[in-house]
Amino acid sequence: MSLIFVDLMSFSSDTTPLVDRFGRTIDYLRVSITDRCDFRCVYCMSEEMTFLPRAQVLTLEELGFIAKAFTELGVKKIRITGGEPLLRKGVLKLLQEIGEIKALDELVITTNASKLEEMAVAIKEAGVKRVNISLDTLDSEKFKQMTRTGDLNKVLKGIQSAKKAGFDGIKINAVILKNRNHREVIDLVQYAVDNQIDISFIEEMPLGIIAGHDRAEAYYSSDLIRSDISRKFELTAVPDKTGGPSVYYKVKDSQTRVGFISPHSANFCSNCNRVRLTVEGRLLLCLGNEHSVDLKKIIRSNPGNMEKLKENIIKAMQIKPEKHEFNLQEKPVILRYMSATGG
């Protein structure tokens, strides 16, 4: 599929808040602040990656400016992600700037936790309310195989530092692959229960070409995961929402919620409330489609012009697709990796 850049002049201006053609209100922005990472998770990246040259990447000032525009248009929640967001130089300054925006209810971050031991307190002080941490296995050998470069011990220490820092919430994200880590789900839930934190299991999405495994063969559905967990834990469905696609269950006699993000087995697009900004400045209207608007071009050709930027963001809602169409049996249609997308 080729990139779809749209002539925004062909749409009539709409009023805020941000509402798309299907009546969905957009109040959640995910911002990728770098495409770089110190891990090479097998489902996310290929082993050899080429990262973006600096000139193509939004500056911290540009990222802050765009974030502010979204909050002025009704966005209440911003997630900082990547790549690995804690690797971006100046990340604390950016977090602080966004954290101070009065109109924003929640600033949250997704991290692989490799830098969390040193940075947890500073992130909390900068205004981050909740942290999502990727952790697919508690076995250090398997962890090395799945991340290719990661050190499990550092990640576990990072989680403990996050607990001490006192965030409003900590959630583990685990991507489950058949015959790689599908036998780990009970241990992961036990870890979440012991640490009084939440956990979400994610079905792998076909973003970018990877060589390590066949995604169709590695597919392990949320239903299978839930049934595995039920062998040891009693799960009760709860209506809780954290503004994302997770469907939650409570683990009996614990504080832990177990979430399921099921892009294949339970499409969540009808309730989609989010858009993504890549570090190149592309506003992606859908994770599983290429519909986008080049916000970098707009802000670089109209420096400091907040109204122009907001006008273009409002118009962009008109090209938000109805849903993603992932097909694990075919070659990925979306060639950008999750790390370049802002997961």
Q: Which residues bind ligand SAM (CB under 6 A)?
A: 37, 43-44, 81-82, 84, 110-112, 134, 173, 175, 202, 204-205, 207, 338-339, 343
Q: Minimum Å distance from CB 200 to ligand SAM?
A: 8
* 133 in Cβ contact with 95 (< 8 Å): no
Q: Minimum Å distance from CB 339 to ligand SF4?
A: 4
* Residue from the set 29, 31, 37, 185 that interacts with ligand SF4 by CB under 6 A: 37
* 43 in Cβ contact with 177 (< 8 Å): yes
The CA angle 150-154-158, to the nearest 5 degrees, is: 120
Residues 121 and 99: their CA atoms lie apart, in Å, by: 14
DSSP class of 269:
G
Q: Minimum Å distance from CB 84 to ligand SAM?
A: 4
> Which residue of the chain is nearest ligand SAM when measured via CB?
343
When the beta carbons of 24 and 324 are compared against ligand SAM, the nearer one is 324
Task: Write phi, then psi, for 281 (nearest 5 degrees).
Answer: 90, 15
When the beta carbons of 199 and 298 are compared against ligand SF4, the nearer one is 199
Instruction: Identify what 75 binds: ligand SF4, ligand SAM, none; CB under 5 to 8 Å per kind.
Output: none
Q: Residue 257, CB half-sphere, CA atoms under 13 Å: how many?
A: 15
DSSP-based three-state secondary structure for 131:
strand
**What count of residues does the chain have?**
343
| Residue 173 contacts ligand SF4 per CB under 6 A | no
Contact set for ligand SF4, span 89-118 (CB under 6 A): 112
Strand segments (E) across 16-123: 28-32, 77-81, 106-111
Given the structure tokens 């971050």, which residue do they identify?
Answer: 109
CB atoms within 10 A of CB 114: 23
Tokens (6 digits) for 201: 């299991």
Contacting range for ligand SF4; rule: CB under 6 A; set: 82-90, 91-99, 207-215, 311-319: 82-90
DSSP class of 329:
T
When the beta carbons of 152 and 338 are compared against ligand SAM, the nearer one is 338
* 279 in Cβ contact with 295 (< 8 Å): no
DSSP-based three-state secondary structure for 169:
strand
* Residue from the set 75, 339, 340, 341 that interacts with ligand SF4 by CB under 6 A: 339
| Residue 82 contacts ligand SF4 per CB under 6 A | yes
Instruction: Identify what 207 binds: ligand SAM, ligand SF4, none; CB under 5 to 8 Å per kind.
Output: ligand SAM
Quote the distance between the C-alpha of residue 76 and its chain's center. 16
Instruction: Identify what 81 binds: ligand SAM, ligand SF4, none; CB under 5 to 8 Å per kind.
Output: ligand SAM
* Residue from the set 20, 27, 84, 198 that interacts with ligand SF4 by CB under 6 A: 84
Q: Minimum Å distance from CB 275 to ligand SAM?
A: 16
| Residue 206 contacts ligand SF4 per CB under 6 A | no
When the beta carbons of 112 and 256 are compared against ligand SAM, the nearer one is 112
Question: DSSP states of 30-61 as a string?
Answer: EEE--S--S---TTT--SS--PPPGGGSPPHH
**Number of residues forming the site for ligand SF4 (CB under 6 A):** 13
Instruction: Identify what 286 binds: ligand SAM, ligand SF4, none; CB under 5 to 8 Å per kind.
Output: none
Instruction: List interacting residues with ligand SF4 (CB under 6 A).
Output: 37, 39-41, 44-45, 82-84, 112, 134, 338-339
